[in-house]
Amino acid sequence: MKKKNIIIKPSKVKNIKDIVDLIAEVSLNASVIKRSYNQIFKKYKNYLVALDGEKVVGTIGFKIWPNSHIEIISLVVDKHYRGKRIGTRLIEEIIKIIKKRGYNSTFVLTDAVSLFKKFGFAGVDIKIFPQKILNDCKYCPRNAGGPNDPKCNEKMLRLNI
């Protein structure tokens, strides 16, 4: 597989099932929340896919929280395609789209800290964003802390764009 054959494109409806499957495969072991077909269907225009021909080999999206907080979500590269800068290209493209849509910052909750720091993301205290804790951390199986005081190996990182 040559890197130049992989293209990054906005997601189409026909890609949704593959996105759901890619996320499901890693969601137990990685900082990626499982999403249903309907959840992605409602927001598929906020997703990108990496394509090897017609095959979806990577994805990334963003979620719009109240008060224009934008979270980068669902970053996954198919395990057979990792280490070829596809993840890097997906992050670069989603940042451009978030900026183009008029937002001036974005955040991510991740254990891939060094990957995001390359783009200038810097650590912030998750407690500055209680909505995230209330909605996601509270029910997350990886949360070893209390419902309102999450503990895991993920870090919240923010980037001004």
Residues that bind ligand COA (CB under 6 A): 26, 30-32, 75-77, 82-88, 108, 110, 112, 114-115
Q: Which is nearer to ligand COA, 114 or 160 (CB)?
A: 114
Burial of 113 per CB tally in 10 Å (0-12, 13-18, 19+): middle
| Closest CB 88 distance from ligand COA, rounded Å | 3
Complete DSSP assignment for 19-47: HHHHHHHHTTTSS-----HHHHHHHGGGE
Closest by CA to 110, choosing from 99, 124, 97, 94, is 124
Smaller CB separation from ligand COA, 25 or 41: 25
Report in angstroms how near the CB of residue 95 gets to ligand COA at its nearest: 14
Number of residue whose CB is nearest ligand COA: 87
Residue placing its CB nearer to ligand COA in the complex, 44 or 155: 155
Distance CA 31, CA 50 (A): 19
Residue closer to ligand COA by CB (options 86, 137) is 86
Nearer to ligand COA, 102 or 141 (CB): 141
* Distance in Å, CB of 131 to ligand COA, minimum: 18
Least distance from ligand COA to the Cβ atom of residue 157, Å:
9
- Which secondary-structure segment (H or E) carries 116? helix 113-117
Identify the DSSP state of 137. G
Which residue, 160, 87, 157, 96, is CA-closest to 128?
Answer: 157
In the complex, least distance from residue 73 CB atom to ligand COA, rounded to whole angstroms: 8
Rounded to whole angstroms, the Cα distance separating 54 from 75 reads: 19
